[in-house]
Amino acid sequence: MSISMNASLVMSPLMTINGQSVGSPSTLDVIDPALNACFAKVPDCTRAQLDDAIAAAQKAFTSWSATPLQERRSMVNAYIERVLADADTLAPLITSEQGKPLAKARSEINSAAFFGRGYTAVDLQPEVLQDTPEKYVAVHRQPLGVVGAITAWNYPVLLAMWKIVPAVLTGNTIVLKPSPNTPVATLRLGTLASEIFPPGVVNVVSGGNALGAWMTEHSGIRKIAFTGSGPTGKRIMASAAGNLKRLTLELGGNDAGIVLADANPAKIAADLFWGKFSNCGQVCAALKRLYVHRSIYPAVCDELVKFAQTVKIGPGTQGGVDIGPIQNQMQFELIQQAVQEALSQGAKLLYQSPAIPGPGLFLPITLLTDVTHSMRVVKDEMFGPVLGIMPFDDEEEALRLANDSEYGLGGSVWGTDVEHAAQVAARLESGGAWVNQHPAMGPSIPFGGVKGSGIGVELGQEGLHEYTSVQVRNIKRTG
Ligand code: NAD
Protein backbone atom coordinates (compact mmCIF):
# COMPACT_ATOMS: atom_id res chain seq x y z
CA MET A 1 0.00 0.00 0.00
CA SER A 2 1.49 3.38 -0.93
CA ILE A 3 1.53 6.38 1.39
CA SER A 4 0.24 9.66 -0.03
CA MET A 5 1.07 13.10 1.37
CA ASN A 6 -0.51 16.51 1.10
CA ALA A 7 2.33 18.89 2.03
CA SER A 8 0.02 21.83 2.80
CA LEU A 9 -1.88 19.80 5.41
CA VAL A 10 1.14 18.28 7.13
CA MET A 11 1.74 19.67 10.63
CA SER A 12 5.11 19.94 12.38
CA PRO A 13 4.86 19.77 16.19
CA LEU A 14 8.00 20.37 18.24
CA MET A 15 9.74 18.70 21.16
CA THR A 16 9.94 20.26 24.62
CA ILE A 17 13.46 20.39 26.08
CA ASN A 18 14.24 22.55 29.12
CA GLY A 19 10.93 24.39 28.66
CA GLN A 20 11.76 25.35 25.05
CA SER A 21 10.08 24.20 21.82
CA VAL A 22 12.75 22.46 19.76
CA GLY A 23 12.93 21.01 16.24
CA SER A 24 15.68 18.78 14.90
CA PRO A 25 17.72 18.41 11.68
CA SER A 26 15.59 15.50 10.42
CA THR A 27 11.98 14.44 10.82
CA LEU A 28 9.82 11.31 10.94
CA ASP A 29 6.52 10.96 9.06
CA VAL A 30 3.40 10.22 11.11
CA ILE A 31 0.66 8.33 9.28
CA ASP A 32 -3.09 8.80 9.71
CA PRO A 33 -4.25 5.16 9.57
CA ALA A 34 -7.78 6.07 8.39
CA LEU A 35 -6.27 7.65 5.25
CA ASN A 36 -2.97 5.79 5.16
CA ALA A 37 -1.41 9.20 4.48
CA CYS A 38 1.22 11.28 6.26
CA PHE A 39 -0.41 14.03 8.33
CA ALA A 40 2.51 15.22 10.46
CA LYS A 41 6.29 15.37 10.52
CA VAL A 42 7.91 15.23 13.96
CA PRO A 43 11.50 15.89 15.03
CA ASP A 44 13.85 12.92 15.01
CA CYS A 45 15.68 13.73 18.24
CA THR A 46 19.47 13.54 17.94
CA ARG A 47 21.71 12.00 20.56
CA ALA A 48 23.01 15.47 21.48
CA GLN A 49 19.42 16.69 21.97
CA LEU A 50 18.66 13.72 24.20
CA ASP A 51 21.79 14.60 26.24
CA ASP A 52 20.43 18.17 26.49
CA ALA A 53 17.03 16.94 27.67
CA ILE A 54 18.58 14.66 30.30
CA ALA A 55 20.96 17.41 31.47
CA ALA A 56 18.02 19.82 31.78
CA ALA A 57 16.04 17.23 33.74
CA GLN A 58 19.04 16.58 36.03
CA LYS A 59 19.46 20.31 36.69
CA ALA A 60 15.75 20.79 37.36
CA PHE A 61 15.72 17.82 39.74
CA THR A 62 17.67 19.70 42.41
CA SER A 63 14.99 22.31 43.03
CA TRP A 64 11.97 20.25 41.93
CA SER A 65 12.71 17.42 44.37
CA ALA A 66 13.09 20.00 47.16
CA THR A 67 9.76 21.68 46.30
CA PRO A 68 7.16 20.85 48.99
CA LEU A 69 4.79 18.05 47.98
CA GLN A 70 1.77 20.36 48.29
CA GLU A 71 3.24 22.74 45.70
CA ARG A 72 4.13 19.93 43.32
CA ARG A 73 0.65 18.51 43.78
CA SER A 74 -1.06 21.81 42.95
CA MET A 75 1.09 22.19 39.81
CA VAL A 76 0.24 18.64 38.75
CA ASN A 77 -3.46 19.37 39.30
CA ALA A 78 -3.13 22.58 37.27
CA TYR A 79 -1.49 20.57 34.50
CA ILE A 80 -4.31 18.00 34.50
CA GLU A 81 -6.83 20.86 34.18
CA ARG A 82 -4.75 22.38 31.34
CA VAL A 83 -4.77 19.07 29.47
CA LEU A 84 -8.54 18.74 29.92
CA ALA A 85 -9.07 22.30 28.68
CA ASP A 86 -7.08 21.42 25.57
CA ALA A 87 -9.35 18.50 24.60
CA ASP A 88 -10.65 20.25 21.45
CA THR A 89 -7.10 20.32 20.11
CA LEU A 90 -5.81 17.05 21.57
CA ALA A 91 -8.72 14.77 20.62
CA PRO A 92 -8.46 15.29 16.83
CA LEU A 93 -4.69 14.72 17.08
CA ILE A 94 -5.30 11.38 18.82
CA THR A 95 -7.86 10.40 16.19
CA SER A 96 -5.53 11.37 13.33
CA GLU A 97 -2.52 9.48 14.61
CA GLN A 98 -4.13 6.56 16.44
CA GLY A 99 -7.33 6.04 14.46
CA LYS A 100 -9.89 5.79 17.28
CA PRO A 101 -13.22 7.61 16.94
CA LEU A 102 -13.26 11.22 18.12
CA ALA A 103 -15.61 10.43 21.03
CA LYS A 104 -13.21 7.72 22.23
CA ALA A 105 -10.28 10.14 21.90
CA ARG A 106 -12.16 12.53 24.19
CA SER A 107 -12.80 9.65 26.63
CA GLU A 108 -9.08 8.90 26.57
CA ILE A 109 -8.32 12.49 27.64
CA ASN A 110 -11.01 12.34 30.35
CA SER A 111 -9.59 9.03 31.59
CA ALA A 112 -6.10 10.53 31.67
CA ALA A 113 -7.44 13.30 33.94
CA PHE A 114 -9.43 10.83 36.05
CA PHE A 115 -6.41 8.58 36.63
CA GLY A 116 -4.12 11.61 37.09
CA ARG A 117 -6.35 12.99 39.86
CA GLY A 118 -6.26 9.53 41.45
CA TYR A 119 -2.49 9.81 41.75
CA THR A 120 -2.66 13.29 43.26
CA ALA A 121 -5.08 11.96 45.91
CA VAL A 122 -2.58 9.40 47.20
CA ASP A 123 -1.07 10.19 50.59
CA LEU A 124 2.74 10.15 50.50
CA GLN A 125 3.33 10.58 54.23
CA PRO A 126 6.25 8.67 55.79
CA GLU A 127 5.35 5.37 57.43
CA VAL A 128 6.31 5.60 61.09
CA LEU A 129 7.52 2.21 62.36
CA GLN A 130 8.56 3.26 65.84
CA ASP A 131 8.00 6.45 67.81
CA THR A 132 9.10 5.96 71.43
CA PRO A 133 11.11 8.08 73.89
CA GLU A 134 14.14 6.06 72.75
CA LYS A 135 13.69 5.90 69.02
CA TYR A 136 12.02 7.28 65.94
CA VAL A 137 12.04 5.01 62.89
CA ALA A 138 10.21 5.92 59.69
CA VAL A 139 10.16 4.92 56.05
CA HIS A 140 10.38 7.92 53.74
CA ARG A 141 9.80 7.86 50.00
CA GLN A 142 12.52 9.65 48.05
CA PRO A 143 12.41 10.60 44.36
CA LEU A 144 14.84 8.75 42.12
CA GLY A 145 16.13 11.45 39.78
CA VAL A 146 15.47 11.59 36.04
CA VAL A 147 12.80 9.16 34.83
CA GLY A 148 12.96 8.00 31.21
CA ALA A 149 9.47 7.12 30.00
CA ILE A 150 8.81 5.19 26.80
CA THR A 151 5.26 4.54 25.57
CA ALA A 152 3.26 2.51 23.05
CA TRP A 153 0.79 3.66 20.37
CA ASN A 154 -2.59 2.41 21.54
CA TYR A 155 -3.45 5.16 24.09
CA PRO A 156 -0.89 7.92 23.50
CA VAL A 157 -2.26 10.50 25.94
CA LEU A 158 -3.39 8.09 28.66
CA LEU A 159 -0.09 6.20 28.71
CA ALA A 160 1.92 9.44 28.75
CA MET A 161 -0.12 10.88 31.65
CA TRP A 162 0.23 7.58 33.53
CA LYS A 163 3.96 8.33 33.55
CA ILE A 164 4.25 12.15 33.75
CA VAL A 165 1.89 12.51 36.73
CA PRO A 166 3.40 9.96 39.16
CA ALA A 167 6.97 10.82 38.11
CA VAL A 168 6.79 14.56 38.79
CA LEU A 169 4.36 14.30 41.71
CA THR A 170 6.91 12.24 43.64
CA GLY A 171 9.64 14.80 42.90
CA ASN A 172 11.34 13.27 39.87
CA THR A 173 11.87 14.98 36.55
CA ILE A 174 11.08 13.21 33.29
CA VAL A 175 12.18 12.73 29.70
CA LEU A 176 9.31 11.11 27.80
CA LYS A 177 9.49 9.44 24.40
CA PRO A 178 6.21 8.42 22.74
CA SER A 179 5.92 5.74 20.08
CA PRO A 180 7.13 6.93 16.66
CA ASN A 181 3.68 5.84 15.39
CA THR A 182 1.78 8.26 17.67
CA PRO A 183 4.04 11.11 18.85
CA VAL A 184 1.88 14.12 17.96
CA ALA A 185 -0.56 14.38 20.90
CA THR A 186 2.27 13.55 23.32
CA LEU A 187 4.41 16.38 21.91
CA ARG A 188 1.43 18.63 22.58
CA LEU A 189 1.40 17.38 26.21
CA GLY A 190 5.02 18.57 26.40
CA THR A 191 4.06 22.04 25.16
CA LEU A 192 1.25 22.24 27.72
CA ALA A 193 3.64 21.10 30.47
CA SER A 194 6.02 23.97 29.65
CA GLU A 195 3.19 26.39 30.55
CA ILE A 196 2.91 24.94 34.06
CA PHE A 197 6.16 23.36 35.27
CA PRO A 198 9.61 24.94 35.72
CA PRO A 199 11.94 24.33 32.73
CA GLY A 200 13.44 20.84 32.61
CA VAL A 201 10.85 19.15 34.84
CA VAL A 202 8.90 17.66 31.89
CA ASN A 203 10.77 17.08 28.62
CA VAL A 204 9.18 15.34 25.63
CA VAL A 205 11.32 14.08 22.75
CA SER A 206 10.31 12.23 19.60
CA GLY A 207 12.23 9.70 17.57
CA GLY A 208 12.47 6.07 16.51
CA ASN A 209 13.37 2.94 18.42
CA ALA A 210 17.06 3.95 18.53
CA LEU A 211 16.13 6.96 20.67
CA GLY A 212 14.48 4.59 23.16
CA ALA A 213 17.63 2.46 23.25
CA TRP A 214 19.81 5.56 23.88
CA MET A 215 17.57 6.42 26.81
CA THR A 216 17.71 2.98 28.38
CA GLU A 217 21.53 2.90 28.33
CA HIS A 218 22.00 6.56 29.39
CA SER A 219 23.76 6.95 32.73
CA GLY A 220 21.83 10.16 33.49
CA ILE A 221 18.52 8.30 33.77
CA ARG A 222 17.69 6.55 37.07
CA LYS A 223 14.49 4.74 36.10
CA ILE A 224 12.80 3.54 32.93
CA ALA A 225 9.00 3.47 32.95
CA PHE A 226 8.05 1.48 29.88
CA THR A 227 4.81 0.47 28.21
CA GLY A 228 5.17 -1.69 25.13
CA SER A 229 5.81 -5.18 23.85
CA GLY A 230 7.51 -8.08 25.63
CA PRO A 231 10.51 -8.36 23.28
CA THR A 232 11.29 -4.63 23.69
CA GLY A 233 10.83 -4.97 27.47
CA LYS A 234 13.50 -7.69 27.58
CA ARG A 235 15.91 -5.55 25.54
CA ILE A 236 15.30 -2.63 27.91
CA MET A 237 15.96 -4.75 30.97
CA ALA A 238 19.33 -5.84 29.57
CA SER A 239 20.28 -2.33 28.48
CA ALA A 240 19.22 -0.73 31.78
CA ALA A 241 21.63 -2.91 33.77
CA GLY A 242 24.56 -0.49 33.23
CA ASN A 243 23.64 1.84 36.10
CA LEU A 244 21.07 -0.48 37.74
CA LYS A 245 18.08 1.59 36.61
CA ARG A 246 14.78 0.97 38.35
CA LEU A 247 12.25 -0.49 35.94
CA THR A 248 8.56 -0.75 35.47
CA LEU A 249 7.74 -2.83 32.43
CA GLU A 250 4.08 -2.81 31.41
CA LEU A 251 4.16 -5.36 28.62
CA GLY A 252 1.74 -7.29 26.44
CA GLY A 253 -0.98 -9.66 27.46
CA ASN A 254 -2.93 -12.59 26.06
CA ASP A 255 -5.77 -12.49 28.58
CA ALA A 256 -8.19 -15.38 28.85
CA GLY A 257 -11.90 -15.09 29.61
CA ILE A 258 -13.69 -18.13 31.05
CA VAL A 259 -17.47 -18.29 30.72
CA LEU A 260 -18.90 -20.76 33.25
CA ALA A 261 -21.96 -22.95 32.65
CA ASP A 262 -24.24 -20.73 34.77
CA ALA A 263 -23.47 -17.50 32.86
CA ASN A 264 -26.25 -15.67 31.03
CA PRO A 265 -25.11 -15.39 27.37
CA ALA A 266 -27.48 -12.58 26.36
CA LYS A 267 -26.60 -10.53 29.43
CA ILE A 268 -22.81 -10.74 29.09
CA ALA A 269 -22.43 -10.59 25.29
CA ALA A 270 -21.88 -6.81 25.04
CA ASP A 271 -19.30 -6.80 27.84
CA LEU A 272 -17.48 -9.80 26.37
CA PHE A 273 -17.48 -8.12 22.97
CA TRP A 274 -16.09 -4.79 24.18
CA GLY A 275 -13.67 -6.61 26.49
CA LYS A 276 -12.05 -7.74 23.27
CA PHE A 277 -12.86 -5.20 20.57
CA SER A 278 -12.49 -1.81 22.36
CA ASN A 279 -9.95 0.37 20.57
CA CYS A 280 -10.05 -2.08 17.63
CA GLY A 281 -8.62 -4.81 19.88
CA GLN A 282 -5.49 -2.75 20.59
CA VAL A 283 -5.62 -2.94 24.38
CA CYS A 284 -2.91 -4.64 26.43
CA ALA A 285 -5.45 -6.05 28.90
CA ALA A 286 -8.11 -6.96 26.34
CA LEU A 287 -9.87 -10.31 26.50
CA LYS A 288 -7.84 -12.08 23.81
CA ARG A 289 -8.90 -15.75 24.20
CA LEU A 290 -12.40 -16.88 25.13
CA TYR A 291 -13.22 -20.27 26.72
CA VAL A 292 -16.91 -21.12 27.04
CA HIS A 293 -18.56 -24.05 28.83
CA ARG A 294 -19.80 -26.44 26.13
CA SER A 295 -23.38 -26.36 27.46
CA ILE A 296 -23.75 -22.67 26.54
CA TYR A 297 -21.12 -22.44 23.80
CA PRO A 298 -23.65 -22.15 20.91
CA ALA A 299 -25.67 -19.50 22.78
CA VAL A 300 -22.59 -17.39 23.59
CA CYS A 301 -21.41 -17.63 19.95
CA ASP A 302 -24.89 -16.57 18.71
CA GLU A 303 -25.06 -13.60 21.08
CA LEU A 304 -21.56 -12.43 20.13
CA VAL A 305 -22.43 -12.57 16.42
CA LYS A 306 -25.69 -10.70 17.04
CA PHE A 307 -23.83 -7.97 18.90
CA ALA A 308 -20.97 -7.76 16.39
CA GLN A 309 -23.52 -7.11 13.62
CA THR A 310 -24.57 -3.86 15.34
CA VAL A 311 -21.04 -2.39 15.47
CA LYS A 312 -19.91 0.20 12.94
CA ILE A 313 -16.32 0.37 11.66
CA GLY A 314 -15.01 3.44 9.84
CA PRO A 315 -12.87 6.58 10.01
CA GLY A 316 -12.71 8.01 13.52
CA THR A 317 -13.75 11.42 12.24
CA GLN A 318 -17.12 10.06 11.04
CA GLY A 319 -20.11 10.26 13.40
CA GLY A 320 -21.59 7.02 14.73
CA VAL A 321 -18.39 5.00 14.24
CA ASP A 322 -17.59 2.54 17.05
CA ILE A 323 -14.26 1.14 15.84
CA GLY A 324 -11.60 2.90 13.76
CA PRO A 325 -8.77 1.45 11.67
CA ILE A 326 -5.89 -0.54 13.08
CA GLN A 327 -3.02 1.82 13.94
CA ASN A 328 -0.23 0.67 11.64
CA GLN A 329 0.63 -1.33 8.56
CA MET A 330 2.68 -3.91 10.46
CA GLN A 331 -0.26 -4.85 12.73
CA PHE A 332 -2.62 -4.72 9.76
CA GLU A 333 -0.58 -7.38 7.95
CA LEU A 334 0.18 -9.41 11.08
CA ILE A 335 -3.51 -9.82 12.00
CA GLN A 336 -4.54 -10.67 8.44
CA GLN A 337 -1.77 -13.28 8.16
CA ALA A 338 -2.60 -14.85 11.53
CA VAL A 339 -6.29 -15.18 10.55
CA GLN A 340 -5.43 -16.68 7.13
CA GLU A 341 -2.98 -19.09 8.75
CA ALA A 342 -5.59 -20.19 11.33
CA LEU A 343 -8.20 -20.78 8.59
CA SER A 344 -5.70 -22.86 6.63
CA GLN A 345 -5.04 -24.91 9.81
CA GLY A 346 -8.73 -25.74 10.35
CA ALA A 347 -10.22 -22.73 12.15
CA LYS A 348 -13.75 -21.73 11.08
CA LEU A 349 -15.09 -18.25 10.46
CA LEU A 350 -18.01 -17.74 12.85
CA TYR A 351 -18.46 -14.12 11.77
CA GLN A 352 -16.59 -11.50 9.78
CA SER A 353 -17.92 -7.97 9.30
CA PRO A 354 -18.09 -6.55 5.75
CA ALA A 355 -14.75 -5.36 4.37
CA ILE A 356 -14.10 -1.61 4.20
CA PRO A 357 -12.13 -0.65 1.10
CA GLY A 358 -8.72 1.08 1.50
CA PRO A 359 -6.63 3.14 1.52
CA GLY A 360 -7.35 3.20 5.29
CA LEU A 361 -6.05 0.34 7.45
CA PHE A 362 -9.49 -1.09 8.23
CA LEU A 363 -9.75 -4.66 9.45
CA PRO A 364 -13.04 -6.52 9.87
CA ILE A 365 -14.32 -7.83 13.19
CA THR A 366 -13.44 -11.53 13.05
CA LEU A 367 -14.81 -14.27 15.31
CA LEU A 368 -13.19 -17.70 14.92
CA THR A 369 -14.14 -21.14 16.21
CA ASP A 370 -12.26 -24.46 15.99
CA VAL A 371 -9.05 -22.73 17.02
CA THR A 372 -6.28 -24.43 19.03
CA HIS A 373 -3.34 -23.40 21.17
CA SER A 374 -0.93 -24.26 18.36
CA MET A 375 -2.36 -21.44 16.20
CA ARG A 376 -0.89 -17.94 16.30
CA VAL A 377 -4.36 -16.41 16.80
CA VAL A 378 -4.46 -18.11 20.21
CA LYS A 379 -0.80 -18.52 21.15
CA ASP A 380 0.34 -14.97 20.33
CA GLU A 381 -1.02 -11.65 21.53
CA MET A 382 -3.56 -10.55 18.91
CA PHE A 383 -3.42 -6.75 19.06
CA GLY A 384 -6.33 -6.33 16.66
CA PRO A 385 -10.00 -7.21 16.02
CA VAL A 386 -9.87 -11.02 16.00
CA LEU A 387 -11.12 -13.37 18.72
CA GLY A 388 -10.89 -17.16 18.95
CA ILE A 389 -13.68 -18.87 20.92
CA MET A 390 -13.09 -22.34 22.40
CA PRO A 391 -15.44 -24.74 24.26
CA PHE A 392 -14.43 -26.55 27.47
CA ASP A 393 -16.02 -29.39 29.43
CA ASP A 394 -14.84 -28.76 32.98
CA GLU A 395 -13.32 -25.92 34.93
CA GLU A 396 -9.98 -27.66 35.45
CA GLU A 397 -9.60 -27.86 31.68
CA ALA A 398 -10.59 -24.18 31.32
CA LEU A 399 -8.01 -23.10 33.91
CA ARG A 400 -5.29 -25.25 32.34
CA LEU A 401 -5.96 -23.65 28.95
CA ALA A 402 -6.24 -20.13 30.37
CA ASN A 403 -2.93 -20.48 32.21
CA ASP A 404 -1.20 -22.02 29.19
CA SER A 405 0.39 -18.72 28.15
CA GLU A 406 3.71 -16.96 28.52
CA TYR A 407 1.70 -13.85 29.49
CA GLY A 408 -0.15 -13.01 32.71
CA LEU A 409 -1.64 -9.52 32.56
CA GLY A 410 -5.35 -10.03 33.29
CA GLY A 411 -8.00 -12.72 33.14
CA SER A 412 -11.72 -12.97 33.78
CA VAL A 413 -14.36 -15.47 34.86
CA TRP A 414 -18.04 -14.98 34.05
CA GLY A 415 -20.97 -16.58 35.89
CA THR A 416 -24.07 -15.92 37.98
CA ASP A 417 -22.70 -17.69 41.07
CA VAL A 418 -20.27 -14.86 41.79
CA GLU A 419 -18.62 -16.57 44.79
CA HIS A 420 -17.80 -19.58 42.67
CA ALA A 421 -16.60 -17.45 39.74
CA ALA A 422 -14.30 -15.57 42.16
CA GLN A 423 -12.82 -18.87 43.38
CA VAL A 424 -12.06 -19.87 39.80
CA ALA A 425 -10.62 -16.40 39.01
CA ALA A 426 -8.25 -16.65 41.99
CA ARG A 427 -6.55 -19.56 40.22
CA LEU A 428 -5.68 -17.50 37.13
CA GLU A 429 -1.96 -16.82 36.72
CA SER A 430 -2.41 -13.11 36.08
CA GLY A 431 -1.90 -9.72 37.73
CA GLY A 432 -5.62 -8.92 37.41
CA ALA A 433 -8.28 -11.55 38.23
CA TRP A 434 -11.67 -10.16 37.30
CA VAL A 435 -15.23 -11.45 37.65
CA ASN A 436 -17.97 -10.51 35.17
CA GLN A 437 -15.83 -7.72 33.67
CA HIS A 438 -12.74 -7.39 31.52
CA PRO A 439 -10.60 -5.36 32.02
CA ALA A 440 -11.25 -3.65 35.36
CA MET A 441 -9.11 -0.68 36.35
CA GLY A 442 -9.36 2.30 38.66
CA PRO A 443 -7.11 5.12 39.84
CA SER A 444 -6.55 3.58 43.26
CA ILE A 445 -6.21 0.00 41.97
CA PRO A 446 -2.70 -1.24 41.10
CA PHE A 447 -2.40 -2.52 37.54
CA GLY A 448 0.36 -4.79 36.24
CA GLY A 449 1.21 -8.23 34.99
CA VAL A 450 3.01 -11.40 36.05
CA LYS A 451 5.08 -13.84 33.95
CA GLY A 452 5.87 -12.29 30.54
CA SER A 453 3.49 -9.37 31.07
CA GLY A 454 5.90 -7.26 33.02
CA ILE A 455 7.49 -6.08 36.20
CA GLY A 456 6.00 -3.62 38.69
CA VAL A 457 2.63 -1.90 38.66
CA GLU A 458 1.07 1.41 37.71
CA LEU A 459 -1.73 3.29 39.53
CA GLY A 460 -2.69 3.56 43.17
CA GLN A 461 -0.25 3.94 46.01
CA GLU A 462 1.82 1.00 44.80
CA GLY A 463 2.10 2.61 41.37
CA LEU A 464 3.28 5.86 42.92
CA HIS A 465 5.84 4.04 45.08
CA GLU A 466 7.42 2.65 41.88
CA TYR A 467 8.75 6.18 41.28
CA THR A 468 10.49 6.35 44.65
CA SER A 469 13.16 4.63 46.68
CA VAL A 470 12.92 3.89 50.37
CA GLN A 471 14.95 5.87 52.88
CA VAL A 472 14.72 4.56 56.43
CA ARG A 473 15.27 7.34 58.96
CA ASN A 474 16.33 5.75 62.23
CA ILE A 475 16.90 8.21 65.06
CA LYS A 476 18.23 7.22 68.48
CA ARG A 477 16.86 9.85 70.82
CA THR A 478 19.74 9.76 73.27
CA GLY A 479 22.93 11.54 72.19
P1 NAD B 1 6.98 -1.67 21.11
O2 NAD B 1 7.65 -2.46 22.17
O3 NAD B 1 7.31 -1.97 19.71
O4 NAD B 1 7.30 -0.10 21.29
C5 NAD B 1 7.01 0.57 22.49
C6 NAD B 1 7.96 1.72 22.65
O7 NAD B 1 9.29 1.22 22.80
C8 NAD B 1 8.02 2.68 21.46
O9 NAD B 1 8.10 4.00 21.95
C10 NAD B 1 9.29 2.27 20.75
O11 NAD B 1 9.87 3.30 19.98
C12 NAD B 1 10.17 1.91 21.91
N13 NAD B 1 11.29 1.01 21.59
C14 NAD B 1 11.38 0.10 20.60
N15 NAD B 1 12.56 -0.55 20.66
C16 NAD B 1 13.22 -0.06 21.75
C17 NAD B 1 14.46 -0.36 22.37
N18 NAD B 1 15.29 -1.29 21.88
N19 NAD B 1 14.80 0.31 23.48
C20 NAD B 1 13.97 1.23 24.01
N21 NAD B 1 12.79 1.57 23.47
C22 NAD B 1 12.42 0.93 22.35
O23 NAD B 1 5.43 -1.80 21.41
P24 NAD B 1 4.21 -1.17 20.58
O25 NAD B 1 4.06 -1.99 19.34
O26 NAD B 1 4.39 0.29 20.48
O27 NAD B 1 2.99 -1.42 21.55
C28 NAD B 1 2.22 -2.57 21.56
C29 NAD B 1 2.56 -3.43 22.75
O30 NAD B 1 2.44 -2.66 23.95
C31 NAD B 1 1.62 -4.60 22.92
O32 NAD B 1 2.34 -5.75 23.25
C33 NAD B 1 0.74 -4.18 24.09
O34 NAD B 1 0.15 -5.24 24.77
C35 NAD B 1 1.71 -3.41 24.91
N36 NAD B 1 1.02 -2.52 25.84
C37 NAD B 1 1.05 -2.82 27.17
C38 NAD B 1 0.34 -2.04 28.08
C39 NAD B 1 0.38 -2.36 29.55
O40 NAD B 1 0.09 -1.49 30.36
N41 NAD B 1 0.71 -3.57 29.96
C42 NAD B 1 -0.39 -0.95 27.64
C43 NAD B 1 -0.40 -0.67 26.26
C44 NAD B 1 0.31 -1.47 25.37
* Host domain of residue 162: 15-251+453-472
CATH code assigned at 285: 3.40.309.10
Average pLDDT over residues 352-366: 95
Q: Residues 177, 303: one domain?
A: no
pLDDT at 6: 47
pLDDT at 9: 63
The CA 227 to ligand 1 mean position distance, Å, reads 5
d(CA 362, CA 115): 30
Q: What is the pLDDT of residues 169-222, one digit of tens each?
A: 999 999 999 999 999 999 999 999 999 999 999 999 999 999 999 999 999 999
Judged against a pLDDT cut of 60, whether residue 471 lies above it is answered with yes
Cβ(326) – ligand 1 distance below 6 Å: no
Q: Whose CA is nearest to atom 19 of ligand 1?
A: 213
The CA 246 to ligand 1 mean position distance, Å, reads 18
Q: Residues 30, 134: one domain?
A: yes
pLDDT at 184: 98
User: pTM for the full model?
Assistant: 0.97
pLDDT at 220: 98
User: Is residue 166 one of the residues assigned to a domain?
Assistant: yes
User: Is residue 478 one of the residues assigned to a domain?
Assistant: no
Q: What is the pLDDT of residues 131-174, one digit of tens each?
A: 999 999 999 999 999 999 999 999 999 999 999 999 999 999 99
Cβ(412) – ligand 1 distance below 6 Å: no
Count of Cβ atoms closer than 10 Å to residue 129 Cβ: 13
pLDDT at 164: 98
Q: Residues 242, 307: one domain?
A: no
Number of domains in the chain: 2
Q: What is the pLDDT of residues 347-358, one digit of tens each?
A: 999 999 999 998
User: Is residue 313 one of the residues assigned to a domain?
Assistant: yes
Q: What is the pLDDT of residues 115-133, one digit of tens each?
A: 999 999 998 999 999 999 9
The CA 344 to ligand 1 mean position distance, Å, reads 30
The CA 154 to ligand 1 mean position distance, Å, reads 9
Judged against a pLDDT cut of 90, whether residue 7 lies above it is answered with no
DSSP secondary structure letter of residue 295: G
Give backbone dihedrals phi and psi of 185, rounded to 5 degrees, phi first: -65, -35
Residues acting as catalytic residues: 250, 284
Q: Residues 232, 295: one domain?
A: no
Whether 410 contacts 432, CB under 8 Å: yes
Q: What is the pLDDT of residues 275-312, one digit of tens each?
A: 999 999 999 999 999 999 999 999 999 999 999 999 99
Q: Whose CA is nearest to atom 15 of ligand 1?
A: 209
Judged against a pLDDT cut of 50, whether residue 3 lies above it is answered with no
Q: What is the pLDDT of residues 317-333, one digit of tens each?
A: 999 999 999 999 999 99
Whether 430 contacts 285, CB under 8 Å: no
Cβ(186) – ligand 1 distance below 6 Å: no
Whether 450 contacts 250, CB under 8 Å: no
Whether 363 contacts 318, CB under 8 Å: no
Q: Residues 57, 166: one domain?
A: yes
